[in-house]
């Protein structure tokens, strides 16, 4: 090595370790994103929210040695990766607490079931899991009313609210307890229109929001922005789908905090 030249970053122990971690993490992100595409389609933003950062990280790791002549650039990239990792961990911790560890107390709630895609006259698998979770709570709390929230998508024959209401009726939930919010097309509208309905019908002001755990933090954030007190009732999510949805929700939460949300 010529005098005065620092060793190439990929040839030091620390450089090799960082390069190996970058290759492993980038490859993992790409793999998880690719796993979500067959079930959710090529347009699923959560999958690309894993594949694209994973590809960038993998490219950076594979080209790490070429940054040897640019130590400032190398330090800047390492710092950005470290900062991104810290912020992601902090946000993930908050999401876990808000989505899975904020159960209802024994007070009165209006149950709000957030919609998802319907298939003809039947709920999709994701929506069915949400409805099953809501049904169990409603059967155990016979005084609680429920709002089913979801409009009709361009590829849906019926509104999500009408399909959810019919499913709950078939499970023994009385029609007098079921209120339909069938205008919304996104999560922000789900919460806002549900609030208007519970106020119009003089229902309990606190919401018990039912959705997938990864979705609940943003739903509850939107509720808090409307001065609504809420608790979380998470439905089960297949573990192999969770990373892609998690990445999508992290991006959506950041956007909501910065700009508000219509997503």
Tell me the pLDDT tens digit for each residue of 83-117: 777 877 888 899 999 999 999 999 999 999 999 99
pLDDT score at 239: 85
Supply 62's token pair: 């594979």
Q: How confident is the model at residue 40 (pLDDT cuts 50, 70, 90)?
A: low
pLDDT score at 1: 47
Q: How confident is the model at residue 60 (pLDDT cuts 50, 70, 90)?
A: confident
What's the rounded Cα separation, in Å, for the pair 140 and 169? 16
- Residue pair 65/11 in contact by the 8 Å Cβ criterion: yes
Tokens 């929210």, residue located: 49
Q: Over the stretch 114-125, which tens digit does the pLDDT of each residue have? A: 999 999 999 999
Burial of 175 (0-12, 13-18, 19+ CB in 10 A): exposed
For residue 121, give every residue at least 6 positions away whose Cβ sits within 8 Å of its Cβ, in sequence order, or none: 157, 158, 163, 166
Residue 263 has pLDDT above 70, yes or no: no
Q: Which residues lie across from 212 on neighbouring strands?
A: 235
pLDDT score at 231: 97
Average pLDDT, the chain: 85
Residue 5 has pLDDT above 50, yes or no: no
Tokens 């979500």, residue located: 36
Tokens 């960038």, residue located: 56
Q: Of the candidates 214, 226, 211, 225, which has an alpha carbon nearest to the alpha carbon of residue 252?
A: 214
Q: Over the stretch 121-167, which tens digit does the pLDDT of each residue have? A: 999 999 999 999 999 999 999 999 999 999 998 888 999 999 999 99
Q: How confident is the model at residue 64 (pLDDT cuts 50, 70, 90)?
A: low
């Amino acid at each position: 090595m010529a005098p005065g030249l620092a060793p190439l970053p990929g040839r030091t122990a620390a450089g090799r370790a960082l390069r190996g971690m970058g290759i492993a993490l980038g490859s993992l992100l790409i793999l998880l994103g690719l796993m979500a595409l067959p079930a959710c389609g090529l347009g699923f933003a959560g999958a690309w929210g894993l594949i694209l950062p994973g590809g960038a990280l993998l490219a950076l790791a594979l080209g790490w040695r070429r940054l040897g002549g640019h130590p400032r650039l190398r330090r800047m990239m390492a710092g950005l990766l470290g900062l991104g990792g810290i912020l992601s961990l902090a946000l993930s911790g908050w999401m876990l607490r808000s989505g899975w560890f904020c159960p209802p107390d024994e007070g009165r709630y209006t149950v709000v079931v957030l919609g998802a895609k319907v298939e003809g006259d039947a709920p999709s698998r994701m929506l069915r899991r949400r409805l099953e979770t809501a049904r169990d709570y409603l059967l155990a709390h016979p005084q609680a009313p429920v709002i089913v929230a979801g409009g009709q998508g361009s590829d849906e024959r019926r509104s999500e609210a009408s399909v959810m209401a019919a499913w709950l009726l078939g499970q023994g939930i009385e029609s007098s307890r079921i209120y339909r919010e069938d205008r919304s097309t996104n999560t922000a509208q789900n919460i806002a229109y549900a609030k208007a309905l519970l106020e119009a019908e003089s229902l309990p002001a606190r919401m018990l929001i039912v959705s997938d755990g990864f979705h609940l933090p943003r739903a509850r954030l939107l509720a808090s922005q409307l001065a609504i007190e809420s608790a979380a009732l998470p439905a089960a999510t297949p573990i192999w789908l969770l990373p892609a949805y998690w990445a999508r929700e992290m991006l959506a939460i950041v956007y909501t905090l910065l700009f508000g949300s219509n997503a």
